[in-house]
Amino acid sequence: MNPFASILRNWSILGGAQVLASLAAMVFMVIVSRGLGDVEFGRLYLAFTLASIVAVLGDAGLSQVLTRAVARDHASLAAYLARSALLIAALAAALYAILVGAARALGFTPEVNALVLVLGVLIVTESLGQLLAGAFQAHERMMVPALARVGSNVVTLAVVIPLLLVWPSALAVAGVLVLGSALRVAIQGLSVGGLEGFRLAPAPPPPWRGLLRAGVPFLAVQGLGVFVVRIDVVMLGRLASEAAVGWYGAASRAVEALYVVPIMLTSATFPVLSRLWSEGPGIFATTLRKTLNVVLVISVPVAVTLFVLAQDIVSFLFTLAAFAPAVPILRIQAVTVPLVFVDYLLVCALMAIGRERTWLAIVVGACFLDPALDWVLIGAADAAYGNGGIGAALATMLTEVFLFACVLRALPSGVLDASSLRVAARVAVVGSLQGAALVTARVAGVPWLAAAVLAGCVYVLAVIRLRLLPSDLVSWLGELIERRAPRLVPGRMPTGADVAATPAKPPSADAA
């Protein structure tokens, strides 16, 4: 199969399921923020951030080691999965104790420390969930991890709604979050035995020391990467009020719900690019450029919509009465969206070609830059506007610019060329047209949701007119529509026989 088509197929599976998962997560966030208020929600978000920073270390980088190794040799699945799970279980216990001790040492309130005790369980569940998802990812079979995410999010939402009515507590919500994460692990664990790797003659197990050594670069990258992404929340909690953390958390969660797009895309892309790099840099570069073009086309309208409609979005999701200060934060984060989307893909390419140590060096630099920016900008924004979240958002944007420049320089020469720059320039122009249409519609009194749809149609038509999407994607969509549409005789309405005669999708199309 065409490598780019394989990426699109797996991404479509992940994306379709993730739409449902994201909707459930978004509704969950809205209900929780409204039910708890800005201060209590700020405490929950701060404790969740502390747990997330430590939880990312829980898999010791082994989920990515497993994905890359098993993508190249499916027979190694059993050995890598068993040994990695044992190492993760031992590490998670130590990390939980470190998390609880660190929260107390930082001097947070008793309420935050109690939340950390509960949310620390995510170190175990999230690490095992990532490891199991890596096994499916290595086989380019994304359906089970996608359904597990949807199922866990839906159950979490179904539980939290009645729970908040009788017990409106951040501690109760924390328990529900742990429940949802454990359910995701259970679904994947019950399904992993059906993967092809378990039906092959098992490969020799990797040496324990070699396995740990291979995971170290990924572990360092993951840990430092989450530190860069989440340290702003911790510093905001120390330099500003808990309400400011709540405003920043509300805006951040609204934007982070959209980050599932590049996350799912890189999940589909990583095993393919890993395989292509070993086959030859030519097809690797071509596939990466096409995928980058898709990322650019998707990210720009998201950024424009968030920026122009920030006040309407905050009002609809959280109410302006409690979360009005989140509006300027959301606008700054909207500008950051295209950078984040592109950075996800380019980092995925670095990992696929085995340059995780280069990425590690870049992240180390960001670990010094981002806290320094936070220290200066949070204090300045808090003094000037009473909203330290504005400074945290600006620091994040500047850090993403730094990461983009460094990763672009670290990629092999010739992987990206002037064609990607031309596509980026054209997409920016089309995004400007969308923004103008959006502003015009709002000035004319069109409701914000209808204005977003109208401006989105303008964007899509312009993208089609300028042929900004790769031809492979257009052909793949056409084939998908043709395969699923009944064949009609001109001038006659379709009947049940027509539908029955429609060729069924080959079983192999569902293999991923």
Query: What is the 8-class DSSP label of residue 492?
Result: S
pLDDT mean over 100-114: 89
Top-confidence range, 144-153, 204-213, 232-241, 322-331: 322-331
Contacts of 207 (CB under 8 A, 6+ apart): none
For 265, counting Cβ atoms within 10 Å of its Cβ (0-12 exposed, 13-18 middle, 19+ buried), the class is buried
pLDDT band for position 3 (cuts 50, 70, 90): low
Residue with tokens 């026989």: 497
Spell out the residues 6+ positions from residue 127 whose beta carbon is closer than 8 angstroms to its own: 55, 58, 59, 63, 88, 91, 92
User: Comparing 235-244, 324-333, 436-445, 474-483, which segment has the lowest mean pLDDT?
Assistant: 474-483
Is the sign of the CA dihedral 129, 154, 325, 241 positive or negative?
negative
Cα–Cα nearest to 23, from 35, 13, 31:
31
> Which of these, 182, 415, 180, lies nearest to 284 by C-alpha position?
415
* pLDDT given for residue 96 in this prediction: 92
* pLDDT exceeds cutoff 90 at 448: yes
**Degrees to nearest 5, angle at CA 411 with 407 and 413:** 140
Pairwise CA distance, residues 402 & 359, whole Å: 12
SS3 329: helix
- Higher-pLDDT residue of 510, 215: 215
Q: What would the pLDDT profile of 182-204 be if each residue is shown by its tens digit?
A: 999 999 999 988 888 888 888 88
pLDDT value at 506 more than 60 = no
Each residue's pLDDT tens digit, 175-187 = 999 999 999 999 9
**pTM to 2 decimal places:** 0.67
| Chain segment 233-280, per-residue pLDDT in tens | 888 888 888 888 889 988 988 888 787 777 777 767 777 787 777 776
- Per residue in 279-306, pLDDT (tens digit) is 767 888 888 888 888 889 989 999 999 9
pLDDT interval class at 11 (50, 70, 90):
low
Burial zone of 402 (CB within 10 Å; 0-12 exposed, 13-18 middle, 19+ buried): middle
**Mean pLDDT to the nearest integer, 80-104:** 89
